[in-house]
């Protein structure tokens, strides 16, 4: 029997074994003195609808959703938060009445915004940003960049049909924020020269452990970025992907995905627990997860 009042949470993904979310949330609950548990559930795409029902009936209060379910899970919600609807992706589910009512949120948007250094945020209205990928994370990044007034965003996608739904989404997001952001789409396999971009954001899993030496952008391509540009990789395992190593060695600002993970996790936790998480928890959470990653031997 689970004790009454225990906060039961989890994350859905496929594969899921490399997620740091259980460690992150265990630490948030420990510091905030919340009685709860957070488990990783490996759910194949075809099992998603029944698994979600099952978890709800088992009294799970909240779930994070990761690759490859962020878009598919939307149709299983009873209600969507406006930002999740705009992004066309859900990464956080709040369950009520044993799963009878499910609300989908997107805290990746907040997570991405809060993880950007002020120097980057301030320059976005004059910046052109290249985003690699077109999945659920790319949509959150797109929503954040448009909301922050970025001058233009270019997507590099594998297949033209993915571009169609992305550009459709972009138009809705622009209307919502009354934004003038220019949206362009290019092929991932024939990237333009990077000299006209002030930032590059990788939202794909390319470069993630165990394919640590893989990168979509070569060092030679990166050399064309203007001085002062940033390179942001949403991956946090490893903390230094090949893309980020190359960027740092070339003197660009290199940002990994750990802070986005922490900020989106904190925002999710606030939705489940209905209490704010103090901002002074961010540093200890970052230290805790950095140590956890360093301690892992592959």
Catalytic residues: 70
Query: Could you give the C-alpha distances from 89 to 83, 187, 292, in angstroms and in order?
Result: 9, 22, 29
Give the residue from 46, 42, 35 showing the smallest Cα distance to 2.
Answer: 35
- What value, to the nearest 5°, has the Cα angle with vertex 16 and ends 15 and 18? 115
Q: 41 in helix, strand or coil?
A: strand
- Find the DSSP H helices in 7-159: 21-32, 48-57, 82-87, 108-115, 118-123, 136-147
Contacts of 158 (CB under 8 A, 6+ apart): 134, 187, 188, 189
108, 67 contact by CB (below 8 A): no
Query: Can you tell me which residue has the tokens 């627990």?
Result: 273
Element (H, E) at 170: helix 160-177
HSE-CB at 85 with a 13 A cutoff on CA atoms is 9
């Amino acid at each position: 029997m689970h004790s009454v009042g225990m906060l039961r949470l989890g994350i859905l993904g496929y594969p899921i074994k490399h997620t740091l979310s259980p460690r992150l949330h265990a630490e948030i609950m420990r510091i905030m003195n919340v009685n709860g548990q957070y488990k990783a559930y490996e759910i194949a795409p075809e099992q998603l609808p029944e698994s979600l029902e099952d978890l709800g009936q088992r009294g799970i209060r909240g779930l994070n959703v990761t690759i490859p379910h962020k878009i598919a899970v939307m149709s299983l919600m009873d209600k969507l938060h406006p930002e999740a609807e705009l992004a066309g992706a859900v990464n956080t589910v709040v369950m009520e009445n044993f799963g009878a009512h499910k609300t989908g949120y997107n805290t990746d948007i907040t997570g991405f915004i809060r993880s950007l250094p002020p120097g980057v945020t301030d320059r976005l209205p004059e910046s052109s940003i290249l985003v690699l990928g077109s999945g659920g994370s790319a949509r959150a990044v797109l929503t954040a960049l448009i909301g922050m007034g970025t001058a233009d965003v270019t997507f590099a996608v594998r297949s033209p049909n993915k571009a169609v739904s992305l550009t459709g989404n972009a138009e809705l997001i622009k209307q919502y924020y009354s934004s003038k952001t220019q949206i362009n789409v290019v092929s991932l396999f024939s990237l333009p020269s990077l000299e006209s971009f002030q930032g590059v954001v990788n939202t794909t899993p390319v470069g993630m452990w165990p394919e640590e030496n893989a990168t979509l952008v070569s060092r030679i391509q990166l050399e064309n970025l203007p001085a002062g540009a940033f390179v942001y990789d949403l991956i946090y395992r490893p903390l230094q992907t090949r893309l980020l190593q190359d960027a740092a060695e070339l003197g660009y600002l290199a940002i990994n995905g750990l802070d986005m993970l922490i900020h989106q996790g904190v925002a999710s936790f606030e939705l489940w627990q209905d209490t704010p998480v103090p901002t002074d928890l961010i540093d200890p959470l970052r230290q805790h997860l950095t140590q956890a990653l360093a301690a892992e031997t592959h």
